[in-house]
Amino acid sequence: MISVIIPTFNRAGFLKEAIQSVLDQDYFQKRHAGENFEIIVIDDGSTDRTKDVIHSLDQDIRYIYQDNRGVSAARNAGFRQARGDFIAFLDSDDLWKKEKIGIQMSLMNTLPRAMMCYTEESWVRHGVFVNPKKRHQKYSGWIFDKVLPLCLISLSSSLFRKEVFQKIGLFDEDLPVCEDYDYGIRLTHRYPVYFLTRPLIVKRGGHEDQLSRKYWGMDRFRVKVLQKSLSMDLTPRQIYLVRQEIAKKSRVLMNGFEKRGQTVEAAKYRKLIDMYTCGRENS
């Protein structure tokens, strides 16, 4: 069974299409409905018509409401309810192409040791398709070094074996944003990943209420994640790369705070630059 977990918060205008893109999966259509997949919607305290949207679909959807605690708590709540052997996430403003799960399950069945796979994406901003930048290029294999600069693994495009979460834990609920960046670092430290070059999801962005717009200086949270990652069992090379990335992001933040006249915050990141700057790989 595949458990599809959809966290949502005041996205009634997008949610129906997202759910329908799950119901329209070729892989599910070829099998008896309800026997090989389940949809779990975690409503993280919505005040719009989210509940009405669920009821209007007349489908067997597990709808769970909780007080607003953030996207990590919503995903974790969904996982705790999941009965599937495989876990897939779908943000409520994203869409799956109908062949997504079928192609991913073909890979997972062919490679029984593969713990997860993810796919290329099509990006839509304000209703217009746009091309991802070169820095968003995705990779297969042991890609710990690739995920340090920014989040490369979209959860909406990912399919996991359930045991991954039993091994490396759930999402960090202390992070209001960049929780996917944190999970990507923990995941790629422990496992190789498999990337499918075919774009199998549509990521719809540009909304005013996106978390990336709510929080200025997202690197603040990435620096916290990187500092936390130093407590993992890293190789000397990995420690060097993490320290370098902390110094790099701290420099960007320091400059940003200085331009805003926030000298106390700027001084904080100047100290981190001094602390984590490495002159040599074995520093």
Reduce the DSSP state of residue 194 to 3 states and report it: strand
In the chain, beta strands by DSSP E: 2-8, 37-44, 61-66, 86-89, 94-96, 116-125, 128-130, 159-161, 194-205
**Alpha-carbon span 267 to 185, nearest angstrom:** 27
C-beta of residue 6 within 8 angstroms of C-beta of residue 19: yes
C-beta of residue 84 within 8 angstroms of C-beta of residue 162: yes
Q: What domains, with CATH codes, occur in the chain?
A: 2-214 (3.90.550.10), 219-276 (no CATH)
Token pair, residue 174, equals: 């202390």
Task: Provide the residue-wise pLDDT of the chain in tens; the chain has 283 residues.
Answer: 999 999 999 999 999 999 999 999 999 986 555 568 999 999 999 999 999 999 999 788 999 999 999 999 999 999 999 999 999 999 999 999 999 999 999 999 999 999 999 999 999 988 888 888 888 899 999 999 999 999 999 999 999 999 999 999 999 999 999 999 999 999 999 999 999 999 999 999 765 555 555 557 899 999 999 999 999 999 999 999 999 999 999 999 999 999 999 999 999 999 999 999 965 444 4
Q: How far is CA 198 from CA 13, 14, 29, 97, in A?
A: 27, 24, 21, 11
The predicted model scores a pTM of 0.91
